[in-house]
Each structure stands twice: as C-alpha cells, then as structure tokens.
Amino acid sequence: MAVPRTSRTGPGVTLDAFTDRYAQRTHGMTASEIRALFAVASRPEVVSLAGGMPNLSALPLDVVGKLMGELVQTRGAQALQYGSGQGDPVLRELICTVMALEGVEASPEDVVVTVGSQQALDLVTRVFCDPGDVVLAEAPSYVGALGTFSAYQADVVHVAMDENGLVPEALREAVAAVQASGRRAKFLYTVPNFHNPAGVSLAEERRDEILEICQDAGLLVLEDNPYGLLGFDAPPTRAIRARGGEDDVLYLGSFSKTFAPGLRVGWVLAPHAVREKLVLAAEAAVLCPPQLNQMVVAEYLSTQDWQGQVGAFREMYRERRDAMLDALTQQMPPGTTWTHPTGGFYVWLTLPEGLDSKVMQPRALTARVAYVPGVGFYADGQGGPEMRLSYCFPEPDRIREGVRRLAGVVEQELDLLATFGPTVRHHPDNRTWTETPSPDMA
Ligand SMILES: Cc1ncc(COP(=O)(O)O)c(C=O)c1O
C-alpha cells in the first residue's frame, strides 16, 4: 500500500508523514529568526531593519550586463561548461590579490572557490566536526554559521565579546572549560571585521593574542571575513591569517558584499592538507562551483575599477550608518545601548533592563518596524534583551523613520513594565495579558 505523503488532521493543519524517516541531523535544522521574519518584514509599509541584504543600487548594472553578455558570446563554451572542483584557476589567482589587501600572502593552490562563503562554512564543518564536537563561537554569532554547526550536530560554546571584539581572557577560559569537560574543541569561529550581528571589530592588538591562544590549544581558527573591505574610517586591518596563521587558520572570503551576492561566489583559503579534503567534500556536494559566475567575477576584477566600486559601497553604507546612529541617539529612551560600527551593515542594540526583544516583536511589527531578535544569534538561548538592526538596505530617511517607530515601541514597553511589572507577556496574536505566578512558583 502506498504511504501517504502528508496527512491532514484538520483545516489548515498538515502533518509531515516523513517524520520517522528523517536523519537525526535534521532535528537541529530550524528556520532562522531571519527567515521566519522575511514575509512580514518585506511588506512595503514595514521599515525593515531586519534583513542584511547588500544594497546593489550603487552597482552599475549596465556595465555588469555587458560584461556577462560578452563573456557568453566570446567564451561561452568554457563559461557554460563544467569546471574544476577547486574553482577556476584564473579566479583563484585574483582572489589571492584581493586577500593581499588584508596582508594575506597565499598561493592559488590553497584556495577553494565555494558557492558563497556559506558553502565554505558547510564544507569546513563537514570536514572537521563529528556530532558532539565543540565549536567555539563568539557571543553572539552569525546565524548562518550557527545553522551549519547545528546541522552537523556540533555543540557551540560561546565566547564573550566586548566593543573590541572577542575577549582573549574569555577565550582562554572557554578553551580550559572545554578541555576540563573532556571534550575536544575543533575550531574557533570568528568574524573579526564589522561583525554580523554585533557590529564590532576585533582590535588590532588582540589579533596576535587570539591566534596564539588557539595555536597553544591546538585549535583551528575559522576566520570569516565577508565585510573586511567595508570599513568607513581606516584601511583594512591585517587578517588573523596574515599573522603567522598559515597552518592554523582557515580564512573565508566572499564577493557577496563587495560585488553581488546573487553570483554566489566565495572562497576558503586553507592549509595545504585541509585544502585537499575540502575539494573532495565540495565535489561530493556540487561537483564544481558555477563556472559562468566565477568567470564573471574574474572578468569584473580584472577589467573594472572594482576597488573604486567598493569605495562607492562604503560611502553608501557610511551614510546609512550615520543616519541610524544619529536617530538612535536622538530617539531611544535612556537605558538603551548600542554598538558603533566603523564598517559593515549592523548595529547591535541592548534594550533597557526588563525588556525582551522577542516578546516585543509583535508590537514592533504592528508599529511597522522589523528587527531581528537577539536570541537567534546564540546557540544557548541568550540574547533576550538584544536585537540586530541593519542599516545596509533602506534609504536614510526610512532608517530614521524606522528608528522613530522602534523608539516608540520601546517607550510603550517601558510604560507597560512600569505599570504591570516584569511578568507582562505578549501572546503570539499580539494580545497582552498579565501572568499570574502559579502558587508553587510564588
Ligand atoms: C558573517 C557572514 N559569513 C558568511 C555569510 C555568507 O555569505 P555568502 O554565502 O553570501 O558569501 C554572511 C552573509 O551575510 C555573513 O554575514
């Protein structure tokens, strides 16, 4: 008898008939806070400070279109063919010149081109992590990396950050605690520049120390750096990989923020032996990265003033960052704090004591402003009072309006807190009620 694909139990309720056949690893796969928000946040009446989409309005689409057309016409037989599993050799050479801007000296032989740096995260985790292995990661961390670690059933142990990025002493303590528990941490995952979501950067003077701690502990560093060239005030900071990390650092890069995310071209630079494993894993997953897209990127890098274009992106994001920081300073009630990014896309905001960003979210959406609640950026349920605000996409006026709406919602929450105390909760359908403590809790 055929097994029913889905079974309906009532109006609008569909149960998944495959539940008992999914692999264990799927249990850790859940939609991220950002995915869940997407439908509501993309309504035109909502000011979305939630999404982290690069803003392509400054990219000359006519130039890119011409370049793509010519590429297919003149070298289509190569561009539309399968390519190398490690990635196009011409592009790998050019990637080395991009990394040189952050002091990284590398051979194209050690670069693997990936389908965005997201695939690099997947390949590295696949190659290094067995279920139950520990990954050290900043608190908070990029949600896409947490999704990957969870998909491979790795255990994330968070390490504290402050306004200067990852705290070396906290890293030492985390390494010691993992060792004391008899477990093995495989790598430290870090986004040193213009952190997603925290909007802070790892201070120059901490970088050598972080590398040294990891080297002493036999821990690889996974340096994820998609925003490094998007600094507003200063030239790029030397990468961790550039500080004697050839044998201990896996460096991830991407053209998503400096060119176009839709091309899905990123890379990983790995120690020689690891490179080989990553290529095998990549071939098993996708055979090879898209040849056409790689050639588009290579052509763009070698024929266009791409660094000038990155400069235009930087200016656009700087204007939006200024709009957000000014609006926050003017509008937010006392007790609210936030980071002051010097590049990238994000501000990390902490609500006044007693407020919870997830609980507040339905009210914010009703007020037509969206953000991402902090809890999604932690593997362990922290982040209640925090939220990520992105300034990369909306126009500066919309950013100001969004912050104005958000500040109004925070004011209302504070009023509620003052009136009802900290037990006020919101129902998912946006009604509010006051929880009565049960007798055994009182
Ligand atoms: C820190 C970080 N790493 C990796 C990625 C993935 O980027 P992509 O796969 O587009 O290169 C992102 C995307 O936002 C990111 O913020």
* Atom of ligand 1 lying closest to residue 195 CA: 1
Q: Are strands 47-48 and 369-370 parallel, antiparallel or unpaired?
A: parallel
Question: What is the model's pLDDT at position 32?
Answer: 66
The whole-number pLDDT of residue 1 equals: 45
Which tokens belong to 140?
A: 């908070």
Q: Please name which of 239, 237, 245, 191 lies closest in space to residue 220, comparing C-alpha atoms.
A: 245
Integer distance in angstroms from the first to the last C-alpha of the chain? 55
| pLDDT interval class at 39 (50, 70, 90) | confident
pLDDT per residue as tens digits for the range 275-295:
999 999 999 999 999 999 999
Looking from the CA of 243 toward its CB, the CA atoms found within 13 Å total 17
- The pLDDT of residue 105: 97
What pLDDT score does 14 carry? 64
Predicted confidence (pLDDT) per residue in 165-203, tens digit: 999 999 999 999 999 999 989 999 999 999 999 999 999
Return phi, psi of residue 111, to 5°. -100, 135
CB 151 within 8 A of CB 163: no
pTM passes above 0.85: yes
DSSP lists the bridge partners of residue 160 as 139
Which candidate, 184, 138, 131, 136, places its Cα nearest to that of 154?
Answer: 131
Distance CA 352, CA 302 (A): 49
354-394 pLDDT per residue, tens: 999 999 999 999 999 999 999 999 999 999 999 999 999 99
- In this predicted structure, the answer to whether residue 343 has a pLDDT above a threshold of 90 is yes
Beta strand extents in 365-410 (DSSP E only): 369-370, 372-373, 386-390
- The pLDDT tens digits for 320-338 are 999 999 999 999 999 999 9
pLDDT at 438: 33
> Which atom belonging to ligand 1 lies closest to the Cα atom of 345?
16
Q: How confident is the model at residue 435, as a pLDDT?
A: 34
Q: Is the CB of 117 under 6 A from ligand 1?
A: yes
How close is the Cα of 256 to the center of ligand 1, in Å? Answer: 7
Confidence of residue 344 (pLDDT cuts 50, 70, 90): very high
Q: What is the mean pLDDT of the chain?
A: 91
Phi, psi angles (nearest 5°) of residue 2:
-65, 140
Residue 226 CB–ligand 1 contact under 6 Å: yes
Distance 124 CA to ligand 1 centre (A): 14
Give the mean model confidence (pLDDT) for residues 81-90.
97
Vertex 48: Cα angle to 378 and 349 (nearest 5):
45
Element housing 411 (H / E): helix 396-420
Task: Give the pair of three-digit tokens for residue 148.
Answer: 């990957």
* Strand, coil or helix: 150: helix
- Closest ligand 1 atom to the C-alpha of 119? 9
% of the chain exceeding 70 in pLDDT:
91
- Alpha-carbon span 275 to 327, nearest angstrom: 46
CA atoms within 13 A on the CB side of 287: 5
Task: State if residue 261 touches ligand 1 by the CB under 6 angstroms criterion.
Answer: yes
Residue 67 alpha carbon to ligand 1 centre in Å: 25
Q: Is 258 in the pocket of ligand 1 (CB under 6 A)?
A: no
Rounded Cα gap, residues 286 and 280, in angstroms: 10
The owner of tokens 């950026």 is 377
Per DSSP, 381 falls in state S
* Residue 350 in contact with ligand 1 by CB distance below 6 A: no
